[in-house]
Chains A and B, each alone.
Chain A
């Protein structure tokens, strides 16, 4: 076991897959000479050279499209968006070309590509640079969406994503790049679509992922358990699509209560989908309506004082937990 930062874990995954398969290459803004906007690709240019670590102009639609074309003819590109906010410029390429090519070419062209970069809010980046966009990617058939919350998961899941024969949207978190965590020694992968129980409990299930799970839920859950005298189970789906419903349903059948905590907006959010699936598959086991904690339905305010109230926080989670536990006064 080694302790590494999240950026190191991702760097290792790309490095190991480049060593394993010479069709793999990294392309994006500042990935080469600058060593990555968040230093994720540190050292990779020196090791693999400019043919496989490629700097691009500030033209997301362009380099996303180039990547898709390369994937169609047999390469395995890893496309870095400086943040997922900028992927919206390339949304047509991702949603219309990457996602639909296999289907529209009658199975002739698969697109083995990974789009990756940090998503969600950081601190004081304002509305256009703080978006959690997983639901709009998970909405599109043909795309897989992966959102790790630990260093170990990030490395194992990214390696699997690079080996996947279809487009994968891999969303990291800017504020997690420095987070440290253990990773297994040697080669390992983690399958897509398989969630993990991050903490066992018996009275209530919380489903959350990525930064909100790591920085909000897991940091506050012990206090909530103590304060409310309850036992909380925490599930990390790790992959948003395909979603590991079986794991969640199994947990809800045990606890009878579910709270979903996510950074995205409420309308048609990932939590809405989970809530529906659990209601359909575990209806007879629910003791309370499923609760969701999301970002408020507004463009994220720049002002720090408002930003913290808009994002999911432990106060909102406490409220939702009390509601499903019928502990409201």
Chain B
């Protein structure tokens, strides 16, 4: 019996998915458990396995196409089964789009049938000279990934020849040429849409307030050097800050909390999300149970999570379920900033740069290193004094980092 392949729900916030790549062609055999298709959700790229065996009878949503959760994206069935009744469930536009692609006449050049247009850029916006387009097609090069050296980034023959000869890496998408005096519309990525929706929601629903504290970072810097010397690792300040925040959160569960309408939930564990910037937006991979982890563990886990976040290879459970988030823009030299709470969390900590400045120590003005941290809190669960006490402890820990290893 024929079975439907439906758009899966790949994250809590996913509403629709984009088909990145079909790994089976129509008419090919599929075994249960085979990877069938790659799908882009609002958070990550995921692979979907086939739940049934049979022939991939019909691809309903082509590569580059979008479908909402639960929509029909393909049909697996026997060779002779009638699948027409199922096709009526295709999401509007999906079938039509597919048929347009397959019904287009096959172009021929010099009487020879041309290759199928398999590598045409999905955005249709890549500028390329006709010969570059043809060479790319013949050599199965994705034009949209070739940096164009012609006017306005036009991909020309020498660019493709460079890719073929290996002189030019066909790396990321060609940089957009910026033409002064013009405006351009850029499609929102899945991540961008999620950010737009959730940040708006957060600002509309959660009454934010902000408390900032300045922390003397010299002890933390010395502490880092000591650990680096002992372990041979290269800790980042983020590692230390995560550990310090975790320790402070364990003392102040009111800050590690979620507003639930008629009650609030306070957590006695710390799942800390760390914002990682990508070209298309940001994701927050999560370090679970930081209270149980050593700084060196946090260091290696964070490194791995951030790498995979940048490769968009995080699994949903790796970016959902945080109780608290830290956003560090210190590396950009900002003094301080305020962040928007990532719901349903109750607070987010925004970290500025560690700056050399004049500080007063024991009545003397000396050169010190200070860092500002700003806590954004949801006033429905956190009051000003609670936030202040949390920051006070956070500061105390960072200024006395031995606390982190006892």
Contacts and interface: CB of A to CB of B under 8 A. Distances in A.
> Which 5 pairs, one residue from A and one from B, show the smallest C-beta to C-beta distance?
A287-B157, A287-B129, A287-B131, A284-B134, A284-B130
B149 interface: yes
Given A287-B156, A288-B129, A328-B151, 9 more contacts: A256-B129, A284-B109, A284-B130, A284-B131, A285-B134, A286-B130, A287-B157, A288-B156, A326-B151
B133 A256 contact: no
Contacts of B132: 287
A177 interface: no
Interface in B20-66: none
B384 interface: no
Nearest to B160: A287
Nearest to B158: A326
B149 A283 contact: no
A133 B234 CA distance: 79
A326 B131 contact: no
B93 interface: no
Interface string A197-222: 00000000000000000000000000
Contacts of A286: 129-131
Nearest to A252: B131
Interface string B119-142: 000000000011111100000000
For chain B, which range describes its interface: under 10, 10 to 19, 20 to 34, or 35 or more residues? 10 to 19
B150 A283 contact: no
B130 A326 contact: no
Contacts of B129: 256, 286-288
B149 A326 contact: yes
Contacts, number: 30
27 contacts: A256-B129, A256-B131, A256-B157, A284-B130, A284-B131, A284-B133, A284-B134, A285-B130, A285-B131, A285-B134, A286-B129, A286-B130, A286-B131, A287-B129, A287-B130, A287-B131, A287-B132, A287-B156, A287-B157, A288-B129, A288-B150, A288-B156, A326-B149, A326-B151, A326-B156, A326-B158, A328-B151
Chain A CB within 10 Å — which of B109, B129, B134, B158 has the most? B129
Interface in A79-94: none
Contacts of A287: 129-132, 156-157
A95 B151 CA distance: 44
Nearest to B157: A287
Interface string A163-179: 00000000000000000
Chain B CB within 10 Å — which of A287, A326, A328 has the most? A287
A256 B132 CA distance: 10
Interface in A227-245: none
Contacts of B149: 326
Interface in B205-222: none
B119 to A, nearest CB: 15
Contacts of B157: 256, 287
Contacts of A288: 129, 150, 156
B134 A326 contact: no
Nearest to B137: A284
A241 B245 CA distance: 84
A203 to B, nearest CB: 10
Contact of A283 (B130, B151, B156, B158): B130
Contacts of B134: 284-285
Contacts of A328: 151
Interface string A282-314: 011111100000000000000000000000000
Nearest to B107: A284
B331 to A, nearest CB: 37
